[in-house]
Chains A and B, each alone.
Chain A
Amino acid sequence: MIGDWLDIGSVDQVAPGNARTLPVHGGDEIAIFRTLAGNFHALVNKCPHKQGPLSQGIVHGSIVTCPLHNWNISLLTGEALGEDKGCVPVIPLKIDAGRILIARDAVVPKKAA
């Protein structure tokens, strides 16, 4: 698994409108979202409001609604939408040949590597 990208699974493992989680030992859990339109996004699985697990929210358009207090978070920018203010880190993600890849830098501390 050497390279800039980390293969974390197949696209078939996340159904449209759903999210799956990716715990990171020693780091923040990541949520992998698939929109109803079929696009993939990854965010740190923590609402900027009260750290609610965004992976458990309802996905609509490119937005996830946090299950705790209904904040709407953009899957593209990680920013809270509407009146709410806050931002959660976006994890770079790409799809290659049916595999979901996330940026290695985002989960692997550089010093440790």
Chain B
Amino acid sequence: MYLDAETSGGARDDPAPGDGRQHLVVVGNGMAGCRAVEEIIARDSSRYRITIFGAEPRVNYNRIMLSPLLAGEKSFDEIVINDAAWYQDNGIDLISGDPVLEIDRANKLVMSRSGRAVAYDKLLIATGSDPFIIPVPGRNLPGVVTFRDLDDVDAMLRAADQGGHAVVIGGGLLGLEAAHGLALRGMQVTVLHLMSNLMERQLDEAAAWLLKTELEKRGQTILTSADTAEIMGEDKVEGVRLKDGREIPCSLVVMAVGIRPNTALATDAGLEVGRGIQVDDHMVTSDPAILAVGECVEHRGQVYGLVAPLWEMCRALADGLTGAPSGYSGSVTSTKLKVSGIDVFSAGDFSGGADCEDVVLRDAARGIYKRVVLRDNRLIGAVLYGDIQDGSWYFDLLRSAEDVESVREMLIFGQAFALGGGQSDPNAAVAALSDTAEICGCNGVWKGTITYAIREGADTLDKVRATTKASASCGSCTGQVECLLKLTLGADYDGERTVKTVCKCTSFGHDHVRREIVAQGMTSIPEVMQKLHWTTPDGCSSCRPALNYYLLCALPGEYIDDQQSRFVNERMHANIQKDGTYSVVPRMWGGITNPRELRAIADVVDKFKAPMVKVTGGQRLDIFGIKKEDLPAVWADLNAAGMVSGHAYGKSLRTVKTCVGSEWCRFGTQDSTGLGVQIEQMTWGSWMPHKFKIAVSGCPRNCAEATIKDFGIICVDSGYELHVGGNGGIKVRVTDLLCKVETEAQAMDVCAAFIQLYREQAFYLERTAPWIERVGLEYVKTALLDDPETVPTLAAKFRYSQTFMQDDPWAKRAAGEDAHLHQHLAEVRPFALETVA
């Protein structure tokens, strides 16, 4: 029997009263409700008389297939699970388009919107979930839709017919599927995602980057860390405004930020409800006559939003209702994205950790990233991008918690490799290859070529790279080359490297990484890690800051600095001290100050009770003992007196130290203070491989100690001697004379050019002194001075990069940027038993 609200009204309450069987009433004609009924009928088709209420005016369809429906890959008929005939054949009464509004538990009745009152013996609540609507102004405007049911899809298709721009809020599974469908339907799509990684609950940083890159390649605009402030428009949607002020014009907004269990009916009926309707292992609620199943329930503290757990719940429910209780014990879930041509899989826990081992396989050429996480020889998580063929195998291993020690070496290569033909030893697999087998795909190097080179004396990885180019580009065959070294040299191979790698995450040294970043035009940290086959998912505290600097240096004005890849001092724009407080050094150009600055500093010391002020070696004043919470206020006060950040905390230009020079000193030959101020104004704010100090002395007596600075100027009667590579640190190094120039302008140009050469060529955390020791003074002289065009070219590059850098970071923080870095999350006052946010 098929009834709907319009035709049957409220005239008849119970469609087929009293045939002696127990009456099972199901609230919810969705996937869970119908599956539960199917499972019950499969076990015992005559046990219950069944009535299903559905809020939507249609038969049961496969909600998961709404994405392919939107994308035009499926029609509605194809996504119907149970057509009208199924209800008929199984004697089920379907009351569609008439939602149940109330449960009368005392009289065991449900009341519908049209006024029906239907008695039940057993009631099953399968109301699913509702899309979460973020509470921003404009959320009720026409043109704002969710992505939950067929009506939503219809609304999106109508909008797509008009073309134009759509904004999808939410870069999770559902949002990306909606965006994909709308893009296929011809709309210009922008995805806004609050977090920094797409699908952050399912993907790690590396896989999220690959996904974002692919979607962008397809023409979608993906904005991460995008926080929606309001949906704009008078009487329909006209655009979205973000909290950072950006505005995106659009005619459609799809809200896909998440779902909430639909528990209203159960709450009103007084059932126990947490995040979902609470059920036991047999899906029974706090009322023994009422059961619940699907996304609306909370089982052992878990709420599920995927389909697989739903099937498992329905089985347990049907077992219980047909007298053979089995029990549901929770689900382990896996995720796949339904966007054609993009393969993404994730399962389990991939947060990593000390007792876990990550095995990572990257193939930049094919856009593949595979990561499995092991703990005690058991697989506990997997993230796959680009090749998800082994997803189900990993998922099985994960659920069975099988010991994988025997296949561990080959696990990452997949089931076929790991279980196929006894080649479980990677050395044996490489040994079995023929001499004409290609080992290095980037440079087309055969196995035979490599073994020949090894026999000829290339007995380390670096020598093989140098002589054959094998594994010298992306590095993905490094493991195989090392196997060949082991096989060819036997015990003589000790794995020694002449090139020091950046860190344990890569087989490449700094030089190689820097060169490839520029050569391949890489633009982000995850991209470098993918293309150079990093062996860890998100790097470590050594490589992240290095990569961040290399990108910043290569792409002035384009690369967005990654704060999470900076050491604390550069993130907090102050120097951390042993007690966790900070010291603050305002900039004093050339070491010159005035009463206004000194008063401001004195006031800050009083106001924030700084325990000490000290004159530094670089001729500045250092205010100690400032708490991180107070830093923005301190900076605001110093800014008000005209002072900016002194960058005493950075791998950057620190100070330009000067003597008083010809303006006051009876020995002075040039205006050393004036030149020092000009140089500091040119160089402040620049990021470098390491800290960088400059000094200008007005005569060879060298009161500014210019000959132990990274760049030192000694003024003489006839001009300026320019010295480089000095260091006053652990190992004192006196500068080398680079050249002599006649004018201030020339001195400044050479200074800028030298800094730029150092910025582009030194390794991260390499001061100028060890850099010059490594490459040789002659190299630096030749590189800078042989061609008269070099100095102006490099100086211009430096000055261009500086146009993006000379922006006082203190002023931004004082104005409220990144306030979360300075504020506590909350406070705990145990004796008051409360938290104060």
Contact = CB atoms under 8 A, between A and B. Distances in A.
Nearest to A17: B564
A45 B528 CA distance: 32
A83 interface: no
User: How large, as a class, is the contact surface on chain A?
Assistant: 35 or more
Contacts of B572: 56
A108 B831 CA distance: 8
A79 B566 CA distance: 23
Given A15-B820, A16-B195, A60-B541, A112 B830 contact: yes
B837 A9 contact: yes
Interface in A17-55: 17-18, 20-27, 30, 32, 35-39, 50-53
B833 interface: yes
Contact of A65 (B350, B541, B829): B541
Nearest to A2: B833
B350 A37 contact: yes
Contact of B201 (A1, A38, A61): A38
Interface residues of B, number: 53
B576 A56 contact: yes
Contacts of B568: 56-58, 67
Interface in B352-375: 352-356, 358
A59 B195 CA distance: 17
B828 A76 contact: no
Contact of A32 (B194, B352, B825, B834): B825
Contacts of A13: 820, 825
B825 A21 contact: yes
B829 A58 contact: no
B746 to A, nearest CB: 41
Interface in B166-201: 194-197, 200-201
Contact of A15 (B196, B576, B826, B834): B196
B370 to A, nearest CB: 16
A37 B351 CA distance: 6
Which label, helix, strand, loop or mixed, suits the secondary structure of the B interface? loop
B831 A26 contact: yes
A24 B830 contact: yes
Nearest to A39: B351
Interface string A102-113: 000001110011
Contact of A24 (B196, B225, B821, B828): B828
B837 A60 contact: no
B354 A58 contact: no
Contacts of B351: 35, 37-39, 62
Given A1-B834, A16-B196, A58 B565 contact: yes
Interface string B92-111: 00000000000000000000
B538 interface: yes
Nearest to A38: B200
Contact of B540 (A1, A18, A23, A60): A60
A23 B204 contact: no
Interface string B224-241: 010000000000000000
A25 B212 CA distance: 44
A12 interface: yes
Nearest to B566: A58
Interface string B524-537: 00000000000011
Contacts of A58: 541, 544-545, 564-568
Given A21-B825, A23-B824, A38-B201, A53 B576 contact: yes
A44 B567 CA distance: 20
Nearest to A26: B830
Given A16-B197, A96-B275, A8 B825 contact: yes
A63 B458 CA distance: 37
Contacts of A100: 825
A18 B824 CA distance: 13
Contacts of A1: 833-835
Nearest to B204: A37
B217 interface: no
B828 A63 contact: no
B200 A18 contact: no
A68 B578 contact: yes
B827 interface: yes
Contacts of A14: 820, 825
B293 to A, nearest CB: 21
Contacts of A15: 196, 225, 820
Contact of B352 (A8, A18, A53, A61): A61
Given A13-B820, A38-B200, A25 B355 contact: no
B613 to A, nearest CB: 23
A77 B353 CA distance: 9
A13 B227 CA distance: 13
Contacts of A24: 827-828, 830
A107 B828 contact: yes
A25 B826 contact: no
Nearest to B258: A98
A106 to B, nearest CB: 10
Contacts of B821: 18
A72 B542 CA distance: 11
A30 B828 CA distance: 10
Contacts of A39: 351
B564 A12 contact: no
Contacts of B823: 20
A75 B835 contact: no
A15 B195 CA distance: 8
A112 B820 contact: no
A79 B354 contact: yes
A8 to B, nearest CB: 5
B28 interface: no
Contacts of A109: 830
Contacts of A62: 351-354, 356
A101 to B, nearest CB: 11
Contact of B204 (A32, A36, A51, A70): A36
A6 B829 CA distance: 11
Contacts of B689: none
Nearest to B580: A53
Contacts of B628: 56
Nearest to B830: A108
A81 B821 CA distance: 26
A60 to B, nearest CB: 5
A34 to B, nearest CB: 10
Nearest to B537: A61
Which of B194, B566, B821 neighbours the largest number of chain A CB atoms within 10 Å of its CB? B821
B539 interface: yes
A13 B837 CA distance: 11
Nearest to B225: A15
Nearest to A64: B541
A73 B578 CA distance: 18
Contacts of A63: 353-354, 540
Contacts of A108: 828, 830, 833
Contacts of B544: 58, 60
Contacts of A77: 354-355
Contact of B564 (A7, A8, A18, A97): A18
Interface string B105-144: 0000000000000000000000000000000000000000
Contacts of B571: 56
Contacts of A37: 200, 204-205, 350-352, 537-538
20 contacts: A6-B828, A8-B828, A9-B826, A16-B197, A17-B196, A18-B821, A25-B827, A37-B204, A37-B351, A39-B351, A53-B576, A56-B580, A60-B541, A61-B536, A62-B354, A65-B540, A67-B569, A74-B353, A79-B354, A97-B275
Listed from nearest, the 10 A-B pairs whose CB atoms lie closest are: A17-B564, A74-B354, A62-B353, A20-B825, A65-B541, A67-B568, A39-B351, A53-B580, A56-B568, A58-B541
Given A56-B572, A60-B540, 11 more contacts: A8-B837, A17-B196, A18-B820, A22-B824, A22-B827, A36-B564, A38-B197, A56-B568, A68-B576, A107-B830, A108-B833
Interface of B: 194-197, 200-201, 204-205, 225, 275, 350-356, 358, 536-541, 544-545, 564-569, 571-572, 576, 578, 580, 628, 820-821, 823-831, 833-835, 837
